[in-house]
Amino acid sequence: MANQVTTDAHSAEISNRPSFFFHLGDVVYNFGESRYYYDQFYEPNRAYPAPIMAIPGNHDSFGRAREYRARVQVQRTMTP
Protein backbone atom coordinates (compact mmCIF):
# COMPACT_ATOMS: atom_id res chain seq x y z
CA MET A 1 0.00 0.00 0.00
CA ALA A 2 2.79 2.45 0.80
CA ASN A 3 4.17 2.14 -2.72
CA GLN A 4 0.81 2.99 -4.27
CA VAL A 5 0.23 5.96 -1.97
CA THR A 6 3.70 7.26 -2.80
CA THR A 7 3.17 6.73 -6.53
CA ASP A 8 -0.17 8.55 -6.38
CA ALA A 9 1.37 11.46 -4.48
CA HIS A 10 4.25 11.81 -6.96
CA SER A 11 2.05 11.48 -10.06
CA ALA A 12 -0.63 13.95 -8.97
CA GLU A 13 -0.58 17.43 -10.43
CA ILE A 14 1.33 19.80 -8.18
CA SER A 15 -1.81 21.67 -7.17
CA ASN A 16 -3.41 18.37 -6.15
CA ARG A 17 -0.50 16.79 -4.24
CA PRO A 18 -0.98 16.05 -0.55
CA SER A 19 0.60 18.36 2.00
CA PHE A 20 1.00 15.52 4.51
CA PHE A 21 0.00 11.93 5.22
CA PHE A 22 -2.04 11.37 8.39
CA HIS A 23 -1.58 7.67 9.25
CA LEU A 24 -4.37 6.51 11.56
CA GLY A 25 -2.61 3.70 13.32
CA ASP A 26 -1.31 0.17 13.02
CA VAL A 27 1.89 1.58 11.60
CA VAL A 28 3.75 -1.63 12.52
CA TYR A 29 2.46 -5.14 12.96
CA ASN A 30 4.16 -8.08 14.70
CA PHE A 31 3.46 -6.66 18.15
CA GLY A 32 4.79 -3.16 17.56
CA GLU A 33 8.31 -4.15 18.52
CA SER A 34 10.96 -1.60 17.67
CA ARG A 35 12.90 -4.02 15.49
CA TYR A 36 10.04 -3.98 12.96
CA TYR A 37 9.72 -0.22 12.53
CA TYR A 38 12.38 0.13 9.84
CA ASP A 39 11.10 -2.71 7.65
CA GLN A 40 7.40 -2.06 8.13
CA PHE A 41 7.20 1.74 8.41
CA TYR A 42 10.33 3.66 7.51
CA GLU A 43 11.41 1.64 4.47
CA PRO A 44 8.00 1.42 2.74
CA ASN A 45 7.39 5.15 3.25
CA ARG A 46 10.91 6.41 2.52
CA ALA A 47 9.99 8.06 -0.78
CA TYR A 48 6.75 9.71 0.36
CA PRO A 49 7.10 13.36 -0.69
CA ALA A 50 5.45 15.01 2.31
CA PRO A 51 5.57 14.82 6.12
CA ILE A 52 3.97 11.75 7.69
CA MET A 53 2.10 12.12 10.96
CA ALA A 54 1.37 8.74 12.54
CA ILE A 55 -0.93 7.85 15.42
CA PRO A 56 -0.22 4.59 17.25
CA GLY A 57 -2.78 1.83 16.76
CA ASN A 58 -3.38 -1.27 18.82
CA HIS A 59 -0.55 -3.11 17.03
CA ASP A 60 1.99 -0.34 17.55
CA SER A 61 2.76 0.04 21.21
CA PHE A 62 1.06 -2.43 23.53
CA GLY A 63 1.69 -0.09 26.44
CA ARG A 64 5.08 1.05 25.18
CA ALA A 65 4.04 4.58 24.23
CA ARG A 66 7.48 5.95 25.11
CA GLU A 67 9.12 3.54 22.67
CA TYR A 68 6.56 4.43 19.99
CA ARG A 69 7.20 8.17 20.38
CA ALA A 70 10.94 7.54 20.10
CA ARG A 71 10.47 5.56 16.87
CA VAL A 72 7.85 7.65 15.06
CA GLN A 73 8.57 11.36 15.09
CA VAL A 74 6.05 13.90 13.91
CA GLN A 75 7.52 16.53 11.64
CA ARG A 76 6.24 19.84 12.96
CA THR A 77 7.42 22.06 10.12
CA MET A 78 5.64 21.42 6.88
CA THR A 79 6.89 23.09 3.73
CA PRO A 80 4.79 23.56 0.60
The confidence band for 64, taking pLDDT boundaries of 50, 70 and 90, is low
pTM of this prediction?
A: 0.64
The Cα–Cα gap between 60 and 34 comes to 9
Q: Please indicate, yes or no, if residue 16 is contained in any of the structural domains.
A: no
pLDDT reported for residue 42? 84
Q: Please indicate, yes or no, if residue 47 is contained in any of the structural domains.
A: yes
Q: Please indicate, yes or no, if residue 78 is contained in any of the structural domains.
A: no
H helices of the chain, in order, are 2-11, 37, 65-71
The confidence band for 56, taking pLDDT boundaries of 50, 70 and 90, is confident
pLDDT reported for residue 79? 43
Query: Residue 17 half-sphere exposure, CB side, CA atoms within 13 Å?
Result: 16
Q: Please indicate, yes or no, if residue 28 is contained in any of the structural domains.
A: yes
Least Cα distance to 73 among 52, 48, 43, 58 occurs for 52
Q: Please indicate, yes or no, if residue 61 is contained in any of the structural domains.
A: yes
Q: Please indicate, yes or no, if residue 26 is contained in any of the structural domains.
A: yes
> Which domain does 43 fall in, by range?
2-7+21-71
Least Cα distance to 38 among 27, 25, 26 occurs for 27
Q: How many domains does the chain have?
A: 1
pLDDT one-digit tens code per residue, 19-45:
999 888 777 766 556 777 788 888 888
Query: CA quadruple 7, 80, 56, 65: dihedral positive or negative?
Result: positive
